[in-house]
Amino acid sequence: MKYVLSGIGIMFGLFFVLMLLTVGFVSTVNRSKGDRGQVLPGEGENAKKAIIIYQPAATKATTKVAQQLAAGLNAGGYEVTLNHPGEHLSPDLSGYGLIIFGSPTYAGQLTKTLTDYVAQVCSQLRAVMGETPRLALFATGAVDQLEEFDRLAETLNGLNVIKKVKFLSGTKETNEKTAFDLGLELAQK
């Protein structure tokens, strides 16, 4: 009986430690990564403008996808700004014809830093009369499902969302090529 009780105690202890580690990991991932603005100049002074706002995290999978998307758009003639979400960034993105948001998926959720920023941008866009920019979203993750995007349905309601893409882990080269090709495709529209 004594052994059974101490076994149960150890199991609970391990579960508790695992929960603490997961909560700590997710809160680290959600922390704002600061102002890392980078601009890839477009073709000519009147180049169309795109911005990619993405939350980087642990293994750089999301960063690589964002960079290749930017490279594809840039090869298609766009001026592309890359940055991380956070208070340093204005939610007024009305100067861009194409806005792309990206995030890793943890515990079935896109990162809060990104989704909070998306909510601010979308309420600003909704307040502007006339044609709104095209929006696209991407997530990276290990699970082949798109439910994480569903939580943003209300936020994105009525806006011009043209793509929602999930890049699955384990296919690094394929993801980078797919991201570049997607950038080129979006530049041509």
Q: Is 59 in the site for ligand FMN (CB under 6 A)?
A: yes
What are the φ and ψ backbone dihedral angles of 22, each rounded to 5 degrees?
A: -65, -45
Q: Is 165 in the site for ligand FMN (CB under 6 A)?
A: no
What are the φ and ψ backbone dihedral angles of 17, each rounded to 5 degrees?
A: -60, -40
* Two tokens, residue 177: 């090529």
CA distances in angstroms from 103 to 30, 114, 146, listed in the order given? 10, 7, 13
Q: How far is the CB of 65 from ligand FMN (least distance, A)?
A: 8
- How many Å separate Cα 165 from the centre of its chain? 10
Among 11, 142, 162, 181, binds ligand FMN (CB under 6 A): 142
Residue with the shortest CB distance to ligand FMN: 141
H/E element holding 29?
helix 2-30
Query: Among the candidate windows 12-20, 59-67, 116-124, 156-164, which touches ligand FMN by CB under 6 A?
Result: 59-67
* Two tokens, residue 61: 């999978």
Q: Is 143 in the site for ligand FMN (CB under 6 A)?
A: yes
Among 50, 53, 57, 73, binds ligand FMN (CB under 6 A): 57
The binding site for ligand FMN (CB under 6 A) comprises 22, 25, 56-62, 104-108, 140-143, 169
